[in-house]
A and B are shown apart, each in its own frame.
Chain A
Amino acid sequence: MTTQLALLALFGALNSGRVSAAAPTNPADRKAALAVCVGALTAALVVFAWLSAPALDTLGVSEPDARIAAGIGLLVVAIHDMLVPGPLPEPGLAGSLAGLVPMTVPVGFTPAAAALAIAIGSESGVVGTVVVALPALVLIVAIALLPIPASWQRWIARSTAMLAAIVGVLVTLDGVRSI
């Protein structure tokens, strides 16, 4: 998988419009929750990328097939995100812990993000995975902190989901065409 495709895939999986829409509305809680969310997402990506090689070895799955699985996972999650409106800030944990629930789980760190962390981590390592995730993480913060109307956030979320669906197909084809 090329760096560009990996970047687009994680950008689609960590859907910044949906994640920021799940942030608390209270400004103080919102900033704290954002910090927790970005930290938790990064930690989750690191753990899955770090475990990728032994996990694939144990499962008997090659890197190209891991890409096929991740691409299909991204496609499924993207279709869900296009059809189902993003979650409201409630129900979730209060205060900064909203950065964990619902922002990280279930909204941000989806099965697609987990599978992509494994697929990208097995090829590019932990650092490479975090680097290609950076644009998505930065955009989550930017969208949540800027005065963007809720309707725009929903539009960003759906557009990102549409992009993710296309990228999911491309990641799958990349796995199919690989040795």
Chain B
Amino acid sequence: MLGWVLVFGVMAVAVHPEDCRAPSAAEIDRASGAAVGWLAANIEADGRILYRYDRDRGVDEGGYNEPRHAGVLWSLFQAERAGVPGAAGVADRGLSWALDRIQDTPIGPAFGEGARLLTGSSALLLAALDERRLLTADTQHDLLMIELGQTLEAAINDEGVLDASIHRDTGPLGDRSAFFPGEVLWALARLHITFPDEQFDEPALRLGRYIVEQRDEVERPWPPISDHWAAYAFETMDRWPDAPSIDSPMEAWIDRQLGLLGLQVRYESQRVGGITTLTRGPNALGAGVGTLGEGIGNWLELDSRTGLLGDDRDVLAERGACAVGLLVDRQARSDDPRIDGAWFRLGDTQMDDQQHALSALLLMRGHLPA
């Protein structure tokens, strides 16, 4: 009997109950509206958004990050397209801040402040501009979009390796980033749909091949990356008229991605406070849980056209619903506009917590289990 107690004790430490539920569409709509509300309440007159806020001390902790600013713009245009009113107006204010910071580099225009411009910033700005174009049919930024795409193309070498940053005066810096390849791939994939004659498909395919076959080994072998941006990208590439087929390396890579996403959702759902704070640590960032929902939402979207997931679809939808269920349950509600609608971890929120959570909610809304 003692042996049974000991062995089951070890198993209980290794595996906890998962606190999962699928939220209703109405709950998702309320949470999405509140997240947009936080961004609307915390955008400044010049279009900058409150970056990091400590609710326990009531302090704006400062700092800024251009890729995250651009990511917020994308999420806001996405929200407006999904029917969240007022989101595009906030995004347009943030867009003017970004457009004021387009700089010339030796390989073309790029978005960012200072001398070192991150390719991820331009990529996410491109995604935001493209989403805005779909929303408004406004073509005034078309030339800039194409030029930003050409800059990103020039930052990819023949092997499909992307430079993470571009110096304003000297050009690409030869540095690497784990997530920028997915962001740039997504931007180029979108551009190929919007501007099919500009031949953004070739660099996209080169970069996509690198992500699938080499990126994880070359740039960050451990811990493995669950790359929500690449999920966006491959979902978009699947909508190309000449969509690339999914070969066996790609299939294996997708399998690994789905496993990572599932594992992280299962782990996160075991964090229910109390003793699990000791065994599982505190809740993940809202941004972290959001990226899980984004990744899963995109793979489900792709599957709804291709049937790629087969029997795995139901369980993946269950994990995605669990992720957005956690987001709905963890969203802060308050009379304080710096708190209401945000996601906090250890008293802090950052604007990308709202961005990733909002996008996850919107993506998963159409894929909730019946």
Given contacts A69-B11, A111-B8, A179-B315, contact A60 B18 (CB under 8 A): yes
Question: Interface size of A by Cβ–Cβ distance < 8 Å?
Answer: 24
Query: In whole angstroms, what is the CA distance A62 to B312 when docked?
Result: 14
Total inter-chain residue pairs, C-beta < 8 Å: 64
Residues in A66-120 with C-beta less than 8 Å from chain B:
66, 68-70, 72-73, 76-77, 80, 106, 110-112, 115
Residues in A22-71 with C-beta less than 8 Å from chain B:
59-62, 64-66, 68-70
| Most chain B beta carbons < 10 A, residue from A80, A106, A112, A176 | A176
Q: Is the CB of A179 within 8 A of B11?
A: no
With both beta carbons as reference points, the residue of chain A lying nearest to B272 in the complex is identified as: A60
Of the listed stretches B105-113, B156-164, B257-265, chain A binds B257-265
Q: Is the CB of B266 within 8 A of A73?
A: no
B26 at the interface (CB under 8 A from A): no
Partner of B263, one of A70, A77, A112, A177: A177
Interface size class of B (residues with CB under 8 A): 20 to 34
Residues in A106-153 with C-beta less than 8 Å from chain B:
106, 110-112, 115
A52 to chain B, nearest CB (A): 14
Q: Is the CB of B266 within 8 A of A64?
A: yes
Using a CB–CB cutoff of 8 Å, the interface residues on chain A facing chain B are 59-62, 64-66, 68-70, 72-73, 76-77, 80, 106, 110-112, 115, 176-179
B263 to chain A, nearest CB (A): 6
Residues from chain A with Cβ under 8 Å of B7 in the complex: 73, 76-77, 110-112
Partner of A59, one of B4, B17, B263, B319: B17
With both beta carbons as reference points, the residue of chain B lying nearest to A179 in the complex is identified as: B262
Q: Is the CB of A80 within 8 A of B11?
A: no
Residues from chain B with Cβ under 8 Å of A178 in the complex: 259, 262-263
Residues from chain B with Cβ under 8 Å of A115 in the complex: 8, 11
B10 at the interface (CB under 8 A from A): yes
Q: Is the CB of B19 within 8 A of A60?
A: yes
Beyond the given A64-B262, A73-B11, A76-B6, could you list 14 further A-B residue pairs with CB under 8 A, ordered by the A residue number?
A: A60-B20, A61-B15, A62-B266, A65-B266, A66-B15, A70-B11, A72-B14, A76-B10, A77-B7, A115-B8, A115-B11, A177-B263, A178-B262, A179-B262
